[in-house]
Amino acid sequence: MAEPVTADEWQAHVMTEAALAIGRWLEARGRLERPINSLTRNDLECMAENAISRFIVLASRRRTSIPNSEERDALHRLLIGEPHARSAAGKPAASATATSGSRITIPTTASARWPA
């Protein structure tokens, strides 16, 4: 059995795997050499979806392979969601977990707005 990697090593591995997932998506569509500003919003969303999907797979595997710890608990909360999580102000936080049939709406902030 391989020796467990540190949290920092695992994070670096996940970042590399997410970048590879984006690269595979671009390569499969013949867009690997295109400048980033020529990609459509849909292209960018698909790339993000592939990177997030890869993270979910890796985080799920990591959560089941490490002993009980704060890291395991944090991964569990991230993957499963906590419907009663509290914000820093002590108020109920918005849940990122969708209920059956509902869509998640993420408010647009100044930093997240799509450039004109």
Report the candidate in 108, 109, 112, 82 with the shortest Cα–Cα distance to residue 94.
82
User: Structural domain boundaries of the chain?
Assistant: 7-80
User: 46: Cβ–Cβ under 8 A, 6 or more apart, which residues?
Assistant: 25
Write the CA distances from 79 to 6, 31, 97, integer angstroms: 20, 31, 9
Instruction: Check whether 34 has a pLDDT greater than 60.
Output: yes
Q: Which of 15-24, 29-38, 88-97, 101-110 has the lowest mean pLDDT?
A: 101-110
Q: What is the pLDDT of residues 1-13, one digit of tens each?
A: 455 578 888 889 9
pTM, two decimals, is 0.60
What CA–CA distance (Å, rounded) separates 92 from 47? 31
| 62-80 per-position pLDDT tens digit | 888 888 788 888 888 888 8
pLDDT beyond 90 at 111: no
pLDDT at residue number 16: 94
pLDDT at 77: 85
C-alpha triplet 98, 104, 108: angle, nearest 5°: 150
% of the chain exceeding 90 in pLDDT: 27
